[in-house]
Amino acid sequence: MMDIHNKKLDSFFLPDLCNVYAVLVLIVLSETLVMALLLVESGLVGFQWERFATLSYFVQWVALLSVALLCQSRKFMARLALLWAVCWAMSLLMLVCFVISYAAESLFPFAALSNQVNWLWILRNIIISAIFGGMGLRYFYVQSQWRLKSQAELNSRLQALQARIRPHFFFNSLNTVASLIAIDPEKAENMLVDLSSLFRVVLKDQDAQVDLAAEIELGRRYLNIEQERLGDRLRLEWQLPDDIPNIQVPQLLLQPLLENAIYHGIQPLIDGGKVTISLSSMINSGAKYQRWFLAIENDKLDSPVKSAGHQISLPNIAMRLEAIFGDKAALDFSETANQYRVIIELPDYNKDRN
């Protein structure tokens, strides 16, 4: 039940207003509203700073108290249907405006000159608060729908990517095993052992994240299979630090790039070639986190035939990185006459230097 309620709260259209940033934005917007109302009411010639200060004091009371009540009742509203949640929020806004307006009419010195409450002024304030409150709720709703739609599209594309990568990888591996059964049964058996280990790792949740060290180990197992198939034609070089950083990365991040390096780089070469996998860090005093660079470099033909392999894998992998790290991670590639290089930049938040 708790997980279901947390999911409803995460997808609720009203954002979490219990933070300093939200309060600062609210204060700025409230002051902008006050300025706009005064300019409409009196124009530039009749503008008075005393009137601006008094009205700002009133509006800030209404805005801050409304946000405080919405913040405290957000969990309750998340359990309601959308219509009832909107009605609850609007009722709170208008109730707060009524209370503050009535208190201002009763307690402020300039209101003491009249012996009766100016109900028209209070009604005007309630209508204004309802209009701007409704506009704010509408904005939050549209924003939340756009965010949910973007997340749904991203998840569906990631699932499609997983469905494309996994069969492609396993079919190639099984074909390799089948080709070796008659030639070298012992090698075929060793490859099946590696492949069974890969099955246990890969057949997890589609949105699974793993340690970078585990992902590198998965890449090693894949290259062991290809090493058995290609023999001396495949030369591997690992340039890894003694301690692999504790970074969570999307599952099957490295293996598709290694597969591209083998099938589009090494395999077409008559004499084979070398694949280099390196992991290094860069110290940047201006960044709040350490950056690591995972690079895969492979030999290739001087004038290879254009293939869709890299064109499919690279954008999808970049999208998966963006889903986890945002703009803190990057994927880039470079190509020379006989080499192809892919670099993945990963942030290490565990090495915060502040």
Domain co-membership, 109 together with 157: no
Please, which pLDDT band fits residue 228 given cuts at 50, 70 and 90? confident
Domain membership flag for residue 177: yes
pLDDT band at 354 (very low <50, low <70, confident <90, very high): very low
pLDDT in tens, 156-182: 666 665 555 556 667 767 787 787 788
Q: Note the pLDDT of residue 332.
A: 92
* Same-domain pairing of 111 and 186: no
Q: Is the pLDDT of residue 253 over 90?
A: no
My answer on whether 105 and 170 are in the same domain is no
Whether residues 81 and 156 fall in one domain:
no
181 falls within a domain? yes
Q: Which of 84-88, 132-136, 272-276 has the lowest mean pLDDT?
A: 132-136
Q: At what angle do helices 82-107 and 49-72 cross, to 10 degrees?
A: 140
Domain that holds residue 251: 151-351
Q: Are residues 105 and 230 in the same domain?
A: no
pLDDT single digits (tens) 95-132: 998 998 888 877 765 544 556 778 888 888 889 888 88
Report if residue 123 sits inside a domain. Answer: no
More confident residue, 254 or 316: 254
Number of domain units in the chain: 2
Is residue 129 one of the residues assigned to a domain?
no
Question: What pLDDT does 2 receive?
Answer: 43
Claim to verify: residue 221 and residue 286 sit in the same structural domain: yes
pLDDT band of 9, cuts 50, 70, 90? low
CATH number of domain containing 333: 3.30.565.10
Residue 280 pLDDT greater than 60, yes or no? yes
Three-state DSSP class for residue 352: coil
Question: 185 vs 70, 182, 229, 295, CA distance in Å?
Answer: 69, 6, 12, 34
Domain C-terminal end among 72, 101, 117? 117
Q: Give residue 323's pLDDT.
A: 75
The answer to the question of residue 128 being in a domain is no
Strand, helix or coil at 274?
Answer: strand
Query: Tell me, what's the pLDDT at 353?
Result: 43
Question: Are 328 and 236 members of one domain?
Answer: yes
Residue that is written with structure tokens 């089948």 in the block? 178
**Residue 299: per-residue pLDDT:** 93
Q: Lowest-pLDDT range, 28-32, 173-177, 301-305, 341-345?
A: 301-305
Domain-terminating residue out of 117, 143, 162? 117
Task: Note whether 244 and 201 are same-domain residues.
Answer: yes
pTM score, two decimals? Answer: 0.57
Residue 169 lies in a domain: yes
User: In the predicted model, is pLDDT for residue 275 greater than 90?
Assistant: yes
Please give the Cα distance from 268 to 48 (Å, whole number): 80
Percent of the chain with pLDDT strictly greater than 70: 81
3-class secondary-structure state, position 154: helix
57 and 205 both lie in a single domain: no
Answer yes or no: are the C-beta atoms of 190 and 214 closer than 8 Å: no
Q: Say whether both 327 and 185 belong to one domain.
A: yes
Do 10 and 84 share a domain, yes or no? yes
In this structure, are 317 and 227 located in the same domain? yes
